[in-house]
Amino acid sequence: MKYPSTITINRINYNLVREQRSGTAIYRSDSTYLRIGSIEKIGLDLELHKQMVKVGFPLARVLEEGEYQDMSYFVEESLGSLHFGEIFKQETESTGYVLDESFETFLHILKIYAEAQVQTIVENKDWDEFRHGIHLDIIIRELPHLEKEILETYKRAEQNLEKFPFAIQHGDLTPFNIYPKGIIDLEDSFLGPVGYDIGAFLTIQNWFPEKADDEFYRVYKFTEDQVSKFKKTVADLYNSHGLPRPSDYEYEFNLTKGIWFTVRMHELPKLQQFRYNTLNKLLAKSPDLIQK
């Protein structure tokens, strides 16, 4: 549906921020965010949000919920004006790297998130849901000439990721969805191997070109010490729960995350082609990197 540019609910004016792939929309007032959509979809999103808050995920507080015309909505507190994607971009432009102070705050939020995520581990592994969540079917439709390579490589990756139990995944966990006070945008959540969100975090930049004249490009850079601390922090946390180190499966998580990053980029043709090329190169490296 086409959402209006403004909505007024309970005498508060909300301006449209964006429409989401799921068919819902996000609006913003001076101090809050409104999420609105079908009664069914918003009901599911709100229930998931409440469950995740209950086990400790650092999410925005829900301030209000209700119905508007034939839709449902809920209102969240704002987690701040700048996400870490913008904070990191500004610092990298000024100094060449992300500043340690910002990195420490960022890592603290990720630790809270990862600890809460472990609390959502489920007994059964639904690989069909994971394949659907990363859009394996869509990438094959977009790149039919690579179907054999994609499926064979994915199958080996999935076999290796069997070592991880399943838990709730954010699906799109990047610095652009993380604020100093918490994490936003759960529209892409699904169940998957518990290391999925964290395991490929350091490879996110690989899916963006370096050139600033592209539609989207790499905007931040971690120092070597920050990368080492990130890996050690995550390894220690996972080891404390008897889980494998995600960094030992970086290729597998990079592949599965990369598939998600690559699909449905038709409105950004330069970025789409870059990601097609990146995925193709990743597939070519699989015999050397995926064997365990």
Q: Are 196 and 258 in contact (CB under 8 A)?
A: no
* Domain endpoint, select from 49, 77, 105: 77
Tell me, rounded to whole angstroms, the distance of Cα 90 from its chain centroid: 21
Same domain, 138 and 217: yes
Q: Rounded to whole angstroms, how far apart are CA atoms 22 and 29? A: 22
The total domain count for the chain is 2
Asked whether residue 150 is assigned to any structural domain, the reply reads: yes
Give 243-265 pLDDT, tens digit per residue: 999 999 999 999 999 999 999 99
Domain hosting 40: range is: 6-77
Nearest C-alpha neighbor of 166 from the set 189, 139, 135: 189
Q: List the CATH number of the domain containing 28.
A: 3.30.200.20
Task: Give the CA angle between residues 226, 87, 110 to the nearest 5°.
Answer: 50
What's the pLDDT at 211?
A: 79
Same domain, 154 and 135: yes
Nearest C-alpha neighbor of 49 from the set 24, 31, 14: 24
Q: Rounded to whole angstroms, how far apart are CA atoms 120 and 117? A: 5
| Amino acid making up residue 8 | T
Same domain, 121 and 232: yes
- Which helix (H) or strand (E) covers residue 117, if one does? helix 100-118
* Domain endpoint, select from 77, 101, 133: 77
pTM: 0.90
Same domain, 190 and 248: yes
Q: Rounded to whole angstroms, how far apart are CA atoms 183 and 40? A: 23
Give 149-206 pLDDT, tens digit per residue: 999 999 999 999 999 999 999 999 999 999 999 999 887 889 999 999 998 899 999 9
Q: Rounded to whole angstroms, how far apart are CA atoms 13 and 11? A: 7
Asked whether residue 283 is assigned to any structural domain, the reply reads: yes
Same domain, 122 and 245: yes
Q: Rounded to whole angstroms, how far apart are CA atoms 9 and 201? A: 38
Helix axes 250-262 and 269-289, enclosed angle (nearest 10): 160
Same domain, 33 and 99: no
DSSP single-letter state for residue 143: -
Give 53-105 pLDDT, tens digit per residue: 999 999 999 999 999 999 999 999 999 889 999 999 999 999 999 999 999 99
Place of tokens 């709730």: 168
Q: Is the pLDDT assigned to residue 207 strictly greater than 90?
A: yes
Same domain, 124 and 264: yes
* Domain endpoint, select from 77, 101, 131: 77
Q: Rounded to whole angstroms, how far apart are CA atoms 71 and 175? A: 31
Question: Residue 216 to residues 85, 205, 209, 267: CA-CA distances in angstroms?
Answer: 12, 11, 7, 12
Asked whether residue 45 is assigned to any structural domain, the reply reads: yes
Asked whether residue 1 is assigned to any structural domain, the reply reads: no
